[in-house]
Each structure stands twice: as C-alpha cells, then as structure tokens.
A = this chain, B = another copy of it.
Amino acid sequence: MDIGSILGLIMGFAFVAAAIMMHGSLTDFVDVPGAMVAFGGSTSAILIAFPMHKVLSIFGIVKHVFLNWGPDPREEIKRFCEYAALARRDGLLGLEKQLQSVKDPFLKRGLEMVIDNTPHDKLEEVLHIELHGLEERHALGKKIFDQLGAMLPAFGMVGTLIGLIQMLHELDDPSKIGAGMAVAMVTTFYGAFVANMVYLPLANKLEARSKEEVKVRELMIHGLVALLEGEGPRAVEAKLNAFLAPKARKGIQTSEAAAAA
C-alpha cells in the first residue's frame, strides 16, 4: 500500500474542494459535455496513440505498482541469509521446502533454477531478460500517463473553445454571457487540475517505484548467485548490504548487534 500517493490524492482534492466551497458550491464545477470532451477526447487519443493491449495493460501495472508493492530489500536480505544457512546445512535441495511459501514469481523461478543447479551465467541471463521486460512494461506505463497528462489539458482547451464559440453565438442575451463563459472554463479546469493532480504525479511515481523494484530484483539475482556458489549467511549479507543506503544499512547492523547481545 502506497500511503504517500493516497495521502497526496486525498489532501489535493480536499484543498481544492475546500477552497471552492469557501466562495461557492461544487456544483458550479460540474459540466457533462465538458467532461465528455476533456476525458473522452483524451482517452480516445490515447487509444490511437498506443496499441490497444498496451493501453489495457496499464491497469494491471498501476495495481501492481501501487497496491502489491514490491518486496522490502531488508526483508529480502534476511531471507537470503536464512536460505544460505539452510543450504549450508541441507544442501541446495534443502531449499525445496521453502519454494511453496514463495509467492513472488520472479524469485520462485530463480529459486527453482538454483535447486536445479543451473549454471550462474544461464541463471543471470534468464532473470535479466525477465527484468528487462519488466522495466520496458513500466516505462510504457509511465509514457501512457505522461501522454494522458499532455492530452487532458489539450482537450480541456478544446472544450473551452467549444463553449466560448457557442457562447459568442448567443451574445444577444448578455445575461447568459457569465454563465456561458463559466461553463466553458470548467473544461480547462478539468484538464489543468486532473493532469497535474493525478496523471503527471502518477507517471513520476511509477518511474520511482520501477527503479526501486528493479533494484530489489537485482539484489535477488545477486542473492541467488551467492546461494549457487554456496556462500555462508555472513558473506551473503555483506554482499547484499551494498544495495542499501548507509542509513538503512546501519539499521540492520544495529538490530543484529541487539540480537547478538
């Protein structure tokens, strides 16, 4: 669960809604034809811009990235230390019982290859191909959100142009000008608000999350190779710690020292 995103979304909508309600009502900002142009138009443009199965795959990517958030690197280091201890005692086949409790398909595939005693380079090659595919899928997700963030304000402007042109044709009745312009501008508001509050920040987070997930998967590959090479728990931990920031590293060492005490 990604608390920052949810907090940000709630806060952002709350600030804007509160500001609106201080001087008027939210209903001034509802306009069905405008929403059709802004959201319908930009979504249609995305369908043209990207192959359909890739547009549809974005929901899966988003769900995966924001809900089932990737494994904690510190947990993974602990896990590999345990596996290393197990492998020392019972051999690589001793890991076979652990296989059922592993849910992450990437790690599972890697462990199976370790148990089958696959050579290092083969294991690394296969897992790096998987990892590269993952990166490409995440990059596409980011690109689609970036395009949505560019298209929505554009179609918001298209909607405002439609509203203004229609209002100008009815200029004879000056009492309608204000309301007409207000409605016309609501579409620009949709584009500016949703693109900057939702699409563009999500594109950014997707990129940051992808980098973090890739880093943990690379840690896993190093851990699996260490298991294959029969390294002990201490050596595995020293090796994998290089993937952590200095502060995170200290955290582990301290808890370890505490455990040793």
Contacts and interface: CB of A to CB of B under 8 A. Distances in A.
Interface of A: 3-5, 7-9, 11-12, 15-16, 18-20, 22-24, 28-29, 32-34, 36-37, 40-41, 43-52, 54-55, 129-130, 133, 147, 151, 154-155, 157-159, 161-166, 168-172, 175, 177-179, 181-182, 185-186, 188-189, 192-193, 196-198, 200-202, 204-205, 208-209, 212, 242, 245-246
Nearest to A136: B245
B8 A51 contact: no
Given A7-B47, A12-B45, A28 B158 contact: no
14 contacts: A4-B50, A4-B52, A8-B45, A11-B43, A11-B47, A12-B45, A16-B36, A41-B196, A48-B202, A50-B208, A51-B205, A162-B189, A165-B186, A171-B179
State how many copies of this chain the complex holds: 5
A3 to B, nearest CB: 6
Given A15-B44, A204-B49, A133 B197 contact: no
Given A154-B192, A158-B16, A171-B177, A28 B205 contact: no
Given A171-B177, A179-B169, A192 B158 contact: yes
Nearest to A133: B245
Nearest to A207: B49
B41 A33 contact: no
A196 B45 contact: yes
A44 B197 contact: yes
Contacts of A181: 168
B20 A162 contact: yes
Contacts of A193: 158, 161
Nearest to A53: B4
Contacts of A43: 11
B22 A192 contact: no
A166 B44 contact: no
Nearest to A151: B196
B51 A4 contact: yes
Contact of A16 (B19, B32, B41, B185): B41
